[in-house]
Amino acid sequence: MPQAGGGKRERWRPPRGRHRLPPEVIARSQRERLLEAAVRVVAAKGYGATTVTDLTREAGISRTTFYELFEDKEACFLAAYDGAVDALVRRVAAAYETEEGWPRRARAGLAALLEALAAEPEVARLALVDVGAAGPAAQRRYRAALQRLTPFFDEGRDFAPGGRNLPANTSRMAIGAVAGLISDELAEERAEDLPSLLSEVLFATLVPYIGPEAAAREAGEASR
């Protein structure tokens, strides 16, 4: 899946013409190319304006192959979406696990998230902005993607002294705050500035769990 600083890198492609690679290997590589193409094209044109022809051309595959892999444009977009989210969540989890103590862990996870999104603005737009325009199924995927961050936030409840008294939807709301701040930045075409948002995003994450004073202290440290 996508990696930081990617974009122009060459991907391995099966040799053209006759070859002996098993068909499932070829299909997988075509599928991957198609998913990467979907991210690029939707980011460039918007979901509504993207056609299956755009996708097959960008991926260098035939229309027949496209329909062997996916039922339609939406199915392809949703698969690309899931792939992008998987990669993001893995990076957040890896960074989160490197630290001790929830506020530090949250800070490391958020920093990794912001850096990953800044490195790949097209993935960022796909994951947070374009998804809203891609219909009800895509919107449900977006909600599901946000839900995958819940365990990282729920740890705040265990960490906070009065965590059990917090409202039931605290984690959902904190995730919504983070997603909102990031989306606002993306909507203003400032993906590359996302890492500078760390202290604000960290404050929004921490404040419902540990209160404004402690959250501001942690956020202040993050800006140093």
Chain residues binding another protein by CB under 8 A are 48, 132-136, 139-140, 143, 146, 162, 165-170, 172-181, 183-185, 187-188, 190, 193, 196-197, 199-200, 203-204, 207-208, 210-213, 216, 219-220, 222-223
Q: Which of 85, 96, 198 is nearest to 154 (CA)?
A: 96
Q: Which of 36, 28, 38, 48 is nearest to 7 (CA)?
A: 36
Count of C-beta atoms within a 10 Å radius of residue 192: 13
Minimum CB separation of residue 224 from another protein in Å reads 10
Query: Which residue, 6 or 195, is less far from another protein as judged by CB?
Result: 195
Shortest distance, position 133 Cβ to another protein, whole Å = 4
Measured distance CA(134)–CA(125) in Å, rounded: 12
Task: Find the shortest distance in angstroms from Cβ 188 to another protein.
Answer: 6
Nearest to another protein of 7, 180 (CB atom): 180
**Cβ closest to another protein, residue 59 vs residue 222:** 222
Q: CB of 76: closest distance to another protein in angstroms?
A: 16
DSSP states of 2-21 = --TT-SS-----PPSSS---
Nearer to another protein, 61 or 219 (CB): 219
Q: Which residues of 104-142 are buried (b: 16+ CB within 10 A; e: fewer)?
A: ebbbbbbbbbbbbbbbbbbbbbbbbbbbeebeeebeebb
CB of 19 to another protein, least distance (A): 41
Residue 182 backbone phi and psi in degrees, to 5: -70, -45
Q: Nearer Cβ to another protein, position 31 or 73?
A: 73
Nearest residue (CB) to another protein, 60 versus 211: 211
Nearest-angstrom CA–CA distance, 57 and 107: 41
Q: How far apart are CA 139 and CA 135, in angstroms?
A: 6
- Interatomic CA distance for residues 185 and 192, integer angstroms: 9
Task: Report in angstroms how near the CB of residue 118 gets to another protein at its nearest.
Answer: 13
